[in-house]
């Protein structure tokens, strides 16, 4: 049996480990072999850890903490326990005001809290008030905004300018952007998970811009073949397409 005990693999979920709702069988076999050889396997996702666990049946164990909500949450998948969470500061409602006024696009806002995930259209003041009032009774992990942006930048430039120095801004899908607390992203989370597990070599793999921060701190940075150009440019290696078993290809390379 191969020895993978030095390695921690942190994989994005949608578009990397999973392709359109399917985890390739070769990924399952390779991850089971990787864990049997002493490796640690983690998922780093825009979804909440609880959401991933309730909505997806994984065909293999997760033997390291995972990163949820784009790094705002570190979650013990096996024991169903939040280990760390970082919320937006009290200025998040002012941020929404600024984004509605300053971003000239059609926008749908999504508020992610430990208790719920709710959306409202930027033009629907009544729904906005209802959702924000409910969020004030909880705490907010992140705000996601879905737009009709058709530019060439991977982030909406106006949103970047508004968030600069106030919030971390990234994107996990085309024409969207999302805000977490300043300094909180997948890169922050994978560093914490590496510390928690004591792994020597951090391997990160992803497909879109939200994964950029974790590739930047990885010892081995990997992009799937279907990754966005911005991610491929940051990667040490380009591996297989997600639909063809990218995680299996990565483990074979290790």
The DSSP string of 47-74 is S-HHHHHHH---SS---S-EEEGGGTEE
Sheet containing 107-112, strands listed edge to edge, beginning at the edge strand earlier in sequence: 117-121, 107-112, 142-147, 176-181, 167-170
Please tell me the distance from the alpha carbon of residue 234 to that of residue 212, in angstroms, as a whole number: 7
Please tell me the distance from the alpha carbon of residue 104 to that of residue 247, in angstroms, as a whole number: 39
User: Does 1 have pLDDT greater than 90?
Assistant: no
Please tell me the distance from the alpha carbon of residue 97 to that of residue 15, in angstroms, as a whole number: 32
Q: Which secondary-structure segment (H or E) carries 94?
A: helix 92-102
Sheet containing 81-85, strands listed edge to edge, beginning at the edge strand earlier in sequence: 66-68, 73-76, 81-85
- Check residue 30 and report its DSSP letter: H
Condensed to tens digits (0 to 9), the pLDDT of residues 167-221 reads 999 999 999 999 999 999 999 999 999 999 999 999 999 999 999 999 999 999 9
User: What global pTM score does this model have?
Assistant: 0.96
Condensed to tens digits (0 to 9), the pLDDT of residues 29-82 reads 999 999 999 999 999 999 999 999 999 999 999 999 999 999 999 999 999 999
């Amino acid at each position: 049996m191969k020895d993978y005990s030095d390695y921690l693999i942190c994989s994005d979920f949608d578009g990397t480990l999973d392709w359109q709702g399917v985890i390739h069988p070769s990924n399952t076999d390779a991850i089971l072999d990787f864990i049997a050889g002493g490796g640690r396997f983690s998922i780093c996702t825009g979804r909440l850890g609880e959401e991933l666990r309730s909505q997806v049946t994984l065909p293999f164990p997760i033997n390291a903490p995972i990163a949820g909500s784009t790094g705002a949450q570190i979650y013990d998948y096996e024991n169903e326990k939040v280990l760390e969470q970082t919320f937006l500061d009290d200025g998040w409602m002012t941020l929404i005001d600024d984004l509605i006024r300053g971003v000239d696009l059609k926008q749908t806002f999504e508020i992610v809290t430990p208790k719920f995930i709710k959306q409202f259209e930027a033009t629907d003041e009544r729904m906005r008030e209802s959702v924000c009032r409910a969020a004030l009774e909880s705490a907010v992990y992140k705000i996601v905004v879905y737009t009709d942006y058709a530019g060439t930048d991977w982030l909406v430039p106006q949103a970047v300018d508004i968030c600069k120095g106030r919030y971390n801004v990234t994107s996990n899908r085309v024409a969207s952007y999302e805000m977490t607390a300043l300094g909180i992203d997948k890169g922050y989370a994978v560093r914490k998970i590496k510390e928690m597990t004591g792994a020597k070599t951090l391997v990160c793999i992803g497909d879109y811009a939200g994964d950029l921060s974790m590739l930047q701190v990885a010892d081995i940075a990997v992009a799937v073949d279907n990754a966005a150009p911005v991610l491929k440019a940051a990667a040490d290696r380009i591996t297989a397409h997600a639909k063809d078993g990218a995680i299996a290809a990565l483990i074979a390379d290790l």
